[in-house]
């Protein structure tokens, strides 16, 4: 039935059809609904059933627990600040968060996919699935109070200048989602950090509570950066009942996603392990260093892991195969330095409470260098072999 429908409308989208300008969109929709029955022409006759659509879809599935929890947590934080936690049902909190996050996801996808579709049409290529993941990552790594227009601007910036300009998914140097966040972070710092951005303060469809403007809520990392002791319990930090970017707070929800990605081998366990080892080693070193007037340096490694975007970055950002290290040997090293840099920035840079974003972007830049060393080793081995003869 689906096939008949597509066969019927296909002529309109062909070269001279009414909607030929939307050819890429049509093709994208068709391959989305129906597996194309194009068969191989050269090389192997049969193919593995895996394709990039499936890989990207699984990443999105892996992100869902963190996203759903993030929605709930928005309502939870709002009710907590209003002192109404007891009187608010789970669904009221969840739907409140859902209503605040949904527009962000819609805007992110609309802007990003719009650009992707246009580019695909201009280049007469198929639409690439990469943005399926980026488009949901971006709303998850911004504070709940991030205005939609800012989000739209950041998405456009990252898709055009961080991805398409390099040739699209698979060619970009920096993680597009983090580029969007970095763009917001440096262009609109007041909307991206501080104590005023993490708490939704207005009612939506008479759900939630209106809070006075002066109500603020600091993230644990914000407190540490300001040299205040962390107020949240470790329990809350692991479960995720702390303020923070929408999807990053719950270690549990992220762990579910991590299990999906690791089981399907979409994410590299080497990278993830590397990030945690790097983070743990650095945190321990700072623990021994006994720096004065520096709360962050006294945080244990598990507190580091449970706060901010450490886990989220390790599982969903560092493991991006395109921008990370591509050699198996390099993956651990790449991850290790992300963990190391993230903690280093948290502890030693008073300006930025969170270091994960910058650490990953920085290592994105160095991933090719790490790979270079390993590939060069292989090349040198071959040269040495030749000289020996």
Partner 1 sequence: MKKVYKLKKGLDFNLEGAALASDCANGKSVPTLPLPQVVAVRPTDFTGVQPKLVVKEGATVLVGDALFVDKATETIQFVSPVSGVVSRVVRGERRKLLRIEVQADKSQQYKQFATKSPAECAAADAVKLLVESGLFAFVRQRPYDVIASPSDSPKAIFVSAFNKMPLASDFNVACAGQEEDFKEGIRLLARIAKVHLGISPEQVNSPLLPVSEACVDIFEGPNPSGNVGVQINQVDPINKGEIVWTVGPEAVVFIGRFLRLGHVDFTRTIAVAGSELKKPTYLKTLIGAPLKDVLGDNLKRTEHVRIINGNPFVGEKADLEDFLGAFSTEVCAIPEGDDVDEPFGWIAPRLNDFSTSYSYFSRLLGKNRSYNLDCRIKGGERHIIMSGEYDRVFPMDIYAGYLVKAILTEDIDRQEALGIYEVAPEDFAVAEFVDSSKLELQRIVREGLDRLRKENS
Residues that bind partner 1 (CB under 8 A): 2-3, 31-55, 57-58, 126, 128, 130, 167-171, 263-266, 268, 321-322, 324-328, 375, 378-379, 381-383, 385-386, 389
Please give the DSSP secondary-structure letter assigned to residue 389. -
- State in angstroms the smallest separation of the CB of 190 from partner 1: 36
- State in angstroms the smallest separation of the CB of 264 from partner 1: 4
- State in angstroms the smallest separation of the CB of 386 from partner 1: 4
Quote the Cα angle for 210-215-217, to 5°. 115
Long-range contacts of 216-220 (CB under 8 A, 24+ apart): 217/77, 217/81, 217/243, 218/243, 219/243, 219/244, 219/307, 219/308, 219/353, 220/303, 220/307, 220/308
CB of 38 or CB of 206, closer to partner 1:
38
C-alpha distance from residue 29 to each of 1, 270, 348 (Å) = 15, 36, 49
CB of 30 or CB of 303, closer to partner 1:
30
CB of 215 or CB of 376, closer to partner 1:
376
CB of 10 or CB of 326, closer to partner 1:
326
CA-wise closest residue to 320 among 109, 156, 173 = 173
Q: Are 310 and 224 in contact (CB under 8 A)?
A: no
Instruction: Determine which helix (DSSP H) or strand (DSSP E) holds 53, and give its type and residue range.
Output: helix 52-82
- State in angstroms the smallest separation of the CB of 169 from partner 1: 6
- Report the half-sphere exposure of 263 (CA within 13 A, side-chain side): 9
CB of 47 or CB of 228, closer to partner 1:
47
Give the C-alpha separation, 107 to 89, whole Å: 28
CB of 38 or CB of 235, closer to partner 1:
38
CB of 37 or CB of 235, closer to partner 1:
37
- State in angstroms the smallest separation of the CB of 132 from partner 1: 11
- State in angstroms the smallest separation of the CB of 310 from partner 1: 23
CA 162, 166, 172, 173 dihedral sign is: negative
- State in angstroms the smallest separation of the CB of 326 from partner 1: 4
């Amino acid at each position: 039935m689906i096939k008949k429908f597509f066969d019927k409308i296909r002529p309109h989208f062909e070269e001279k059809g009414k909607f030929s300008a939307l050819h890429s969109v049509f093709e994208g929709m068709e391959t989305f609904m129906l597996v194309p029955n194009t068969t191989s022409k050269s090389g192997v006759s049969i193919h593995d059933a895996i394709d990039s659509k499936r890989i990207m879809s699984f990443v999105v599935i892996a992100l869902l627990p963190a996203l759903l929890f993030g929605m709930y947590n928005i309502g939870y934080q709002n009710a907590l600040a209003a002192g109404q936690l007891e009187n608010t049902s789970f669904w009221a909190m969840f739907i409140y968060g859902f209503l605040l996050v949904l527009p962000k996801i819609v805007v992110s996808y609309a802007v990003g996919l719009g650009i992707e579709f246009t580019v695909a049409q201009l280049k007469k290529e198929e639409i690439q699935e990469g943005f399926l993941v980026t488009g949901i990552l971006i709303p998850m790594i911004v504070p709940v109070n991030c205005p939609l227009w800012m989000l739209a601007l950041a998405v456009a910036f990252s898709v055009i200048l961080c991805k398409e300009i390099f040739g699209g998914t698979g060619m970009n140097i920096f993680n597009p989602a983090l580029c969007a966040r970095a763009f917001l972070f440096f262009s609109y710092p007041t909307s991206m950090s501080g104590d005023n951005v993490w708490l939704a303060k207005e009612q939506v469809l008479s759900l939630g509570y209106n809070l006075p403007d002066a109500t603020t809520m600091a993230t644990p990392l914000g407190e540490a950066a300001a040299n205040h002791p962390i107020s949240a319990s470790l329990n809350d930090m692991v479960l995720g009942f702390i303020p923070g970017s929408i999807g990053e707070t719950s270690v549990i929800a992220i762990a579910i996603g991590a299990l999906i990605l690791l089981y399907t081998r979409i994410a590299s366990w080497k990278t993830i392990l590397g990030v945690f080892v790097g983070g743990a080693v650095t945190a321990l070193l700072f623990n021994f260093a006994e720096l004065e007037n520096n709360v962050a340096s006294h945080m244990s490694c598990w507190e580091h892991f449970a706060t901010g975007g450490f886990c989220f970055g390790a599982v969903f950002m560092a493991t991006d195969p395109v921008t990370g290290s591509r050699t198996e040997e390099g993956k651990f090293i790449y991850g290790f330095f992300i963990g190391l840099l993230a903690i280093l920035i948290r502890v030693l840079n008073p300006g930025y409470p969170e270091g994960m974003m910058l650490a990953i972007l920085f290592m994105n830049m160095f991933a090719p260098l790490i790979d270079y060393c390993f590939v060069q080793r292989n090349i040198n081995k071959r040269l040495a072999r030749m000289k020996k003869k």
